[in-house]
Chains A and B, each alone.
Chain A
Amino acid sequence: TQLLEQSPQFLSIQEGENLTVYCNSSSVFSSLQWYRQEPGEGPVLLVTVVTGGEVKKLKRLTFQFGDARKDSSLHITAAQPGDTGLYLCAEPRNSGYALNFGKGTSLLVTP
């Protein structure tokens, strides 16, 4: 089973601060997806990165895929309480079906 490590496990910040969360693997990612899961809801796909060195932006969220495709980061600028949730990274399973998920970073943004 492929292992995805996410850090930090928990993060509590105040509104307006910047933050970065990380996703790493011991093997090369074929592609990587980031999800956000709000309390009591299912995960929602934010972005898919495929190419080493790729950078994608989604409003205040910036996603970066490492050059060697073994790591990825999510940077949030000027965090807002609405950013509170569990951020998950995921990669395709070796079988070619479905995804393996990391355990996530739980983010709390307080006003």
Chain B
Amino acid sequence: DAGITQSPRYKITETGRQVTLMCHQTWSHSYMFWYRQDLGHGLRLIYYSAAADITDKGEVPDGYVVSRSKTENFPLTLESATRSQTSVYFCASSESPTALGYFGPGTRLLVL
């Protein structure tokens, strides 16, 4: 099916564990983005990518790592999860760097 998918949709992990959130889009959009959404803070940019093998930091990148070996995939890794990383994570893709037309359904992460 065409679109943007995220997996898993829900994840519970423990402090210190490594966690990878997956994002896959079928449109071959150049631009992909990771945001986290928290009460009181709204949506905040973690990382973005302009093309395969091109990534850059956003507003809150600490504790996260991304890669983009293929245009359609943009995984986000929490190297050593902390409780402050409990959040809802959204991936987005677009043809334009500043018009985010398509968001995924989100991954709800709980770090115990």
Show the binding face of A for B, using Cβ within 8 Å: 1, 31, 33, 40-45, 48, 88, 90, 92-93, 96-104
Contact, CB under 8 Å: A97 / B97:
yes
Contact, CB under 8 Å: A101 / B104:
no
CB within 8 Å of A: which B22-43 residues: 31, 33, 35, 40-43
Number of A-B residue pairs at CB separation under 8 A: 59
Contact, CB under 8 Å: B48 / A98:
yes
Contact, CB under 8 Å: A48 / B104:
no
Residues of B within 8 A of A104 (CB): 42
Main secondary structure of the interface of B (DSSP, over half): strand
B74 touches A (CB below 8 Å): no
Nearest first, the 3 A-B pairs at minimum CB distance are: A42-B103, A92-B98, A103-B42
Q: Which of A31, A40, A96, A103 contacts B97 (CB 8 A)?
A: A96
Contact, CB under 8 Å: A96 / B43:
no
Contact, CB under 8 Å: A96 / B106:
no
Contact, CB under 8 Å: A42 / B97:
no
Name the residue of chain A whose CB is nearest to the CB of B108.
A40
Q: Which of A41, A99, A101 contacts B106 (CB 8 A)?
A: A41
Q: Name 18 extra pairs, CB < 8 A, besides A43-B100, A97-B98.
A: A40-B105, A42-B92, A42-B103, A42-B106, A43-B90, A45-B99, A45-B100, A45-B101, A90-B43, A92-B97, A93-B98, A96-B97, A96-B98, A97-B31, A100-B45, A101-B42, A101-B43, A101-B44
- Complex-state Cα separation, A96 to B103, whole angstroms: 19
Query: Chain A CB within 10 Å — which of B42, B44, B45, B59 has the most?
Result: B42
Contact, CB under 8 Å: B45 / A42:
no
